Amino acid sequence: MTVVHEVEHTFAVNEAFRVPPFDGVPGVDSIADRGEKRLDAVYFDTDDLRLARNRMTLRRREGGDDAGWHLKIPTADGARDEIGRPLGEAGHVPDDLVDLVAVRIRGAELHPVARVTTVRRVRRLRDAAGHDLLEVADDEVNARTMGRRTIVSRWREIEIEALDPAAVALLPAAGEILREAGARPAVLPSKLRRALAVDVGRPDLEAERPRPTASATAGEVIHAYLVEHTAALLDNDPGVRIDAPESVHDMRVAARRLRSTVQTFRPLFDAGRAGPIEAGLREIGEVLGEPRDAEVLLAGFTRALAEQPVDMLLGPVRARVQETFLGERLRAREAALDYLRGSRYLTFVEELLAFVGDAEQTDLARRRARAVLPKLVAKADRRLTRRVDRARAITVAGAERDIAYHGARKAAKRLRYACELMEPVAGRDAVRLAKRARRVQNELGEHHDSVVALARLRRLAVSANLAGESSFTYGLLAGQERARAGTLLTSFETTWADAGRPRLRRWLRRSRRHA
């Protein structure tokens, strides 16, 4: 399976349009004519066009240099990732591609919805060294829908694609030359959308709605935050399935943010609906947590071993660390994939989308945000203070104190997310508080990481002893982790003293005056 980050701009032109020479594009020294190609593509989607309405396309295309199956998924930068597979059978969508769109189609069947035939004339814009920068495709397109009714259409368009990451910066200049020649940016984002000639419907999440203002209702502010992070959860689902870097972490963080929001602002939600949503988000976090935790431990121990003098590494320490945590990660990843491919998860996604779509579930949610949300944020702040005070009161190092500080870390995370949500209402005050909560969260998070690492080092030492290996190096690392944990708690005292508690109270007073 190949993944290509595709950055391209599409322009509508008429039959008489003449492609300009692109002399004004910086760095372009020559233009190579790559000749004419005929491309024949069949697009697949569900009956209600779930892929198209979420800006995804799935096609099987013959002809050209990249014949095969192509799945295009939108990315955060407005471009798309294209995932390719060999041609295979004409009517059978590859199972791995079906897997990648599972969270969008949620059990619906895929079938052909349109056939698009393109006569493409290709030019490559090159630099002085002969390196290809941009590809200009002049397409004459014939399209026909497939299904209950047939719509036949024909048009011409120009696509400009960056062939090198550095060449993305050249796209605006090339686009301006096309506009000066009479081209206009395409209204629809893909050939499929134009071929269908119908309103494909609303996406799962309308993330491009106007940002809430200070006069918004509590439900509107909550809704905007839920939409943003539900979109992040769904967008990272395919990346988890193909093991893309940071995808597990990003999807897990999205689930945490959503769950924290439901917890902190529970009075704004219908209790009967909020409970199952919180439980489902917790389950996603736990399922993704296991491969992520193993990945973090493997990276941390590998780094720590690399920093040790060679004469301090006694026995097959590196091999045992690799075998232990790489094995745990692979097993946990398989368990996570089994969960993501199950009906329980897909049913929950449907429930989550319905929950997020209903922004004002209670009378309280329909009131102004400034009159409602600050009180709930203050409650989250008091929870953090209580938990920190409880942890600091335990003077003897051990499991009880470690658990208490871990609870404080969770409370700091919840306050941070609540302040992030409040930014449209409270502005810079909320940003400052979120940053302070994040500092508390990060330091206590590093402390928790040390606590977990200590426990795992003990288990590694026991396993080494049972195998007749030296446990010296594990003890050495454990001593370093214990010292680090102590240093982190000392540093936390300074962080906590500067956490800005009075600022929260002033912010709450101002919020009440403007409510």
Residue 202 main-chain phi, psi, to 5 deg? -80, 145
Please, what is the angle between helix 399-426 and helix 218-241, to 10°? Answer: 120
- For residue 343, is pLDDT > 80? yes
- For residue 501, is pLDDT > 70? no
What does the block give as tokens for 30? Answer: 């020559």
Across 119-146, average pLDDT: 94
Give residue 498's pLDDT: 80
Give residue 48's pLDDT: 92
- For residue 315, is pLDDT > 90? yes
Give residue 423's pLDDT: 87
Give residue 205's pLDDT: 81
Whether residue 228 contacts residue 424, with contact meaning beta carbons closer than 8 Å, is answered with no
* Homologous superfamily of 2-196: Hypothetical Protein Pfu-838710-001 (2.40.320.10)
Read off the pLDDT of residues 152-186 as tens digits, 9 standing for 90 and up.
999 999 999 999 889 999 999 999 999 999 999 99
Query: Where residue 340 falls among pLDDT bands split at 50, 70, 90?
Result: very high
- Calculate the CA 337 to chain-centre distance: 17
- For residue 442, is pLDDT > 70? yes
Query: Where residue 508 falls among pLDDT bands split at 50, 70, 90?
Result: low
Query: Where residue 6 falls among pLDDT bands split at 50, 70, 90?
Result: confident
Euclidean distance between CA atoms 54 and 47, whole angstroms: 14
In Å, what is the CA distance from 145 to each residue of 33, 111, 209, 458? 32, 12, 31, 64
Give residue 513's pLDDT: 56
Euclidean distance between CA atoms 67 and 293, whole angstroms: 39
- For residue 414, is pLDDT > 90? yes
Query: Where residue 200 falls among pLDDT bands split at 50, 70, 90?
Result: confident
Amino acid residing at 242: I
Across 423-431, average pLDDT: 83
Read off the pLDDT of residues 71-114 as tens digits, 9 standing for 90 and up.
999 887 778 889 999 998 888 999 999 999 999 999 999 999 99
Amino acid residing at 282: R
DSSP structure string for 104-161: HHTTPPPEEEEEEEEEEEEEEEE-TT--EEEEEEEEEEEEEE-SSS--EEEEEEEEEE
Give residue 352's pLDDT: 96
Give residue 134's pLDDT: 94
Helix (H, G, I), strand (E, B) or coil at 278: helix
Give residue 78's pLDDT: 73
Give residue 503's pLDDT: 54
pTM of the model: 0.89
Mean pLDDT, rounded, of the chain: 91
DSSP structure string for 315-361: SSHHHHHHHHHHHHHHHHHHHHHHHHTSHHHHHHHHHHHHHHH----
Q: How many CA atoms lie within 13 A of 149 on its CB side?
A: 5
Read off the pLDDT of residues 26-37 as tens digits, 9 standing for 90 and up.
989 999 999 999
For residue 144, the cross-strand partners are 115, 152
pLDDT-above-70 percentage for the chain: 95
Read off the pLDDT of residues 230-280 as tens digits, 9 standing for 90 and up.
999 999 999 999 998 899 999 999 999 999 999 999 999 999 999 999 999
Query: Where residue 361 falls among pLDDT bands split at 50, 70, 90?
Result: confident
Query: Where residue 358 falls among pLDDT bands split at 50, 70, 90?
Result: confident
* H/E run at residue 43: strand 30-45
- For residue 495, is pLDDT > 80? yes
Give residue 98's pLDDT: 96
CB-count burial class (<10 Å; 0-12, 13-18, 19+) for 25:
buried
* Angle, CA 153 vertex, CA 152 and CA 158 arms, to 5°: 150
Query: Where residue 1 falls among pLDDT bands split at 50, 70, 90?
Result: low
Give me the residue spans of the domains in the chain. 2-196, 214-367, 368-515
Euclidean distance between CA atoms 43 and 74, whole angstroms: 17
Across 373-380, average pLDDT: 91
Give residue 3's pLDDT: 78
Amino acid residing at 471: S
Name the pairing type of β-strands 111-126 and 2-6: unpaired
Across 417-440, average pLDDT: 88
| Closest by CA position to 431, among listed 331, 360, 507 | 507
Query: Where residue 215 falls among pLDDT bands split at 50, 70, 90?
Result: confident
What does the block give as tokens for 142? Answer: 């014939």
- For residue 211, is pLDDT > 60? yes
Query: Where residue 510 falls among pLDDT bands split at 50, 70, 90?
Result: low
- For residue 217, is pLDDT > 80? yes
Top-level CATH class of 214-367?
mainly alpha
Query: Where residue 511 falls among pLDDT bands split at 50, 70, 90?
Result: low
Give residue 416's pLDDT: 95
